[in-house]
Amino acid sequence: MEYLQATGAWMNEINRCIDDVLVKAGGIRERGRWQVSSMDWPRYFQVVGKSDKGLVGFVGDSASGTCEVWCKHVGQAHAAPASGVKEIAECLDMPPEWAAIAITGMTAVVERGHAALSHYDGWTLVETSEGRLLPGLMTQRGTMVDIDRAIGAGRLGLGKAAYTVHRDGDGVWAQPIDGGGRIELERTDTRWGSYVLLPGAETVTEEMHYAAWAAWSAQEPALARVGPRKNKDVYEWHPEGDFSISSDGLVPVVRYQSGEWTTVVSIEGTELVNLVKGEQTYATGISVPAARYLIEADLIRQASQPGLSTSTTPEGLSQELVDMEMAIYEWADNDFGAGEADVRVAYLDAVPYVWVDGAGIIRLVEGNVGIVELVRPCGEVWREGLWETIRRRLTEEDERVLDEVNRQRRAHAASQSHSEVTTIRRNRCRPRQDRRSSMNSKNRAPSPSPAHILKHESEELIAAVDDGNTHRVAEILATIDEITHHVQLSMDREIVSSTSPACWMYNGNYIYPEHIRSAQIAVTAPEETA
């Protein structure tokens, strides 16, 4: 199954419609799951419902332009067109009256999603000087771009139509590079600002186009925002970041920067991206869906920390959402270490999002049933019941993505000063409840102990030193420092201080482990210990 080719603003209304359909259709039974996916060629958009009895696909494709419904029962090799409401109800394991509501609702959702996805063919990029790319919208008369971006881009186009754009009062005009007379440009006002028509401006190649698409799509939310639309046209592409072209050796790459994040995509491998946060590499060679997940997880972690939140927690949170959050805490405590789980809740656009370290991101959907939207590290996005969600194990691809990002996070953290991170723990977040036995997963493998991690990293360190890989050595040392610091926190401070060598030096200064540095502990010089 293909992942969503793009998420973001155009998916907001579609996600809202899906949530409404699931609530009206009696919700999701304990083992029911729903996933949205798309593919570029042949172009299709589909919503798939899955139960223990089979699966049902609502598919909108480029051939028909309408929604077709397919069923696949457990044990069948291939899906076949649905025979009617009864068969669909059997596959979804729900009453026929609920299935009828799901058919009507999901058909409308898929037709809208397919139309929105097809509309994305209207965007392009215009080549400019200094390797920058200018986002534009194709029209019958030519390519339209934002006026301010056009003026600040320098030279537009690389052929005979190359010119610079200027503003003179309310008028906008172009000056050809070859010295010809200035050209008055057609101006169009949109809800986002003023656009100008650029006749003859050259757009990028198809390979560059898809690389730019992947770079931009990787920074769209992993879970779509379902808050107020705020007058945004769900059908129009409108990125706010900056595109540029550079070279990785002899292969051109597209860079897309939005805020503190930069995604880098090679034109020869548009399925994989590199993530850069600030000036440091965050992850390399990961899929577009995985990049969305990692950026979303980082946003939730930061927004959940005191003093860093830019979101507003809505007043009067429903009891249903409170109960769902409490259940997630209980599950995380049981599966991740007796109250030591790192669970973060952040309100983004007044919608609660929960991040559980090593598990996934959950968007809580408020309604008359317990529906959540879940994204795994690999990029899969499902809507299902809460209890089924929290029992689902990670896949090998999930583990691979988490391993990559954890290495990068440790390296990133080692370059910064240590700061206290507030962790939401069971005894702070909610009262104790008698749900542990029902939510404890028996199939999940236990987390590795600090001793196991230290043993593994020590072996890796020896190999890295032997290979002369200084970058890898630095990463491993940062990991060992972090784990050692964690272990020391659980030990008696006097024992640690008495056994720590007094002659540790860094840049000529004597040092102790960070957590025991205080005014009560005297740092003794080596010559005084003799």
Average pLDDT over the chain, rounded to an integer: 75
Tell me if 126 is assigned to some domain: yes
- 109 and 230 share a domain? no
CA neighbours within 13 Å on the CB side: how many for 116? Answer: 26
Q: Is residue 259 part of a domain?
A: no
Alpha carbon distance 291, 284 (integer Å): 10
In this structure, of 47-61, 115-129, 202-216, 296-310, the range with the lowest mean pLDDT score is 296-310
509/134: higher pLDDT: 134
In this structure, the answer to whether residues 117 and 128 fall within a common structural domain is no
φ and ψ at 289, to 5 degrees? -60, -40
d(CA 20, CA 49): 15
Q: Quick one: pLDDT at residue 5?
A: 72
Tokens 């050595």 sit on residue: 473
Same domain, 298 and 401: yes
Strand bridging mode 251-258 / 54-61: unpaired
**Residues 187-194: what's their mean pLDDT?**
76
Residue 407 lies in a domain: yes
Percent of the chain scoring above 70 in pLDDT: 68
pLDDT tens per residue, range 489-508: 656 555 655 555 545 555 55
Residues 501 and 481 in one domain: no
3-state class (DSSP) for residue 172: strand
Tell which of 439, 467, 501 closes a domain: 439
The type of residue at 525 is A
Q: In whole angstroms, how large is the CA radius of gyration of the chain?
A: 27
Given a cut of 80, whether residue 98 has pLDDT beyond it is yes
Residue 241 near residue 256, CB atoms below 8 Å: yes
Residues 90 and 51 grouped into a single domain: yes
pLDDT, average across residues 347-357? 78
Kindly state the average pLDDT of the residues 201-229.
Answer: 81
Contact residues for 488 (Cβ-Cβ < 8 A; gap 6+)? 496, 513, 515, 516
- 246-262 pLDDT, tens digit per residue, is 876 678 899 999 989 99
Percentages of the chain per state (helix, strand, coil), in multiples of 5: 35, 25, 35
180 and 193 housed in the same domain:
yes
Counting Cα atoms < 13 Å in the Cβ hemisphere of 486 gives 13
Q: Which of 71-75, 316-320, 374-378, 398-402 has the lowest mean pLDDT?
A: 316-320
Whether 38 is in a domain gets the answer yes
Mean per-residue pLDDT, 222-227: 71
Selected residue with higher pLDDT from 441 and 152 = 152
Residue 285 is assigned to a structural domain of this protein: no
Say which residue, 191 or 482, is predicted with more confidence: 482
- The per-residue DSSP string of 248-315 comes to ETTEEEEEEEETTEEEEEETT-TTEEEEEETTEEEEEEEEHHHHHHHHHHHHHHHHTSTTT--S-PPS
Question: Which conformational region is residue 231 in: left (phi greater than 0), alpha (psi within -120 to 50 degrees), or beta?
Answer: left
- Percent of the chain at pLDDT > 90 equals 15
> Is the distance from CB of 225 to CB of 348 less than 8 angstroms?
yes
Q: Are residue 351 and residue 463 in the same domain, yes or no?
A: no
Predicted confidence (pLDDT) at residue 426 exceeds the cutoff of 50: no
What pLDDT does 354 receive? 84
pLDDT score recorded for residue 263: 95
Q: Is residue 287 part of a domain?
A: no
Residue 332 DSSP SS3? helix
Arithmetic mean of pLDDT, 421-449: 36
- pLDDT for residue 504: 52
What is the pLDDT at residue 517? 40
Distance separating alpha carbons of residues 44 and 60, to the nearest angstrom? 5
Residues 509 and 430 in one domain: no
- Which residue, 70, 93, 121, sits at the end of a domain? 121
**Is the pLDDT confidence value at 428 over 50?**
no
Number of domains in the chain: 5
Are 466 and 498 within one domain? no
Task: Please tell me whether residues 427 and 327 are part of one structural domain.
Answer: yes
pLDDT at site 75? 92
Does a structural domain hold residue 153?
yes
507 and 484 in a common domain? no
Concatenated DSSP letters of 219-237 = TS-SS---S--TT--TT--
Please give the residue range of the domain that contains residue 305.
293-439
Residue 480: its H or E element: helix 470-489
User: How many C-beta atoms lie closer than 10 Å to residue 248's C-beta?
Assistant: 12
pLDDT score recorded for residue 198 = 85
Give pLDDT tens digits for 463-474: 788 777 777 788
Torsion angle defined by CA atoms of residues 463, 466, 469 and 475, in that order, rounded to the nearest 10 degrees: 40
Does residue 385 share a domain with residue 346? yes
Domain stops at, among 121, 138, 160: 121
With respect to residue 517, please indicate whether it lies within any of the assigned structural domains: yes
User: DSSP code of 128?
Assistant: B
Burial 423-452 (b: 16+ CB within 10 A, else e): ebebeeebeeeeeeeebeeeeeeeeeeeee
Question: What is the secondary structure of 66-120 as a DSSP string?
Answer: SEEEEEEETT-SS-EE---HHHHHHHHTS-HHHHHHHHHHHHHHHHHHHHHHHHG
- The mean pLDDT value for 26-51 works out to 81
Mean pLDDT of 41-56: 87
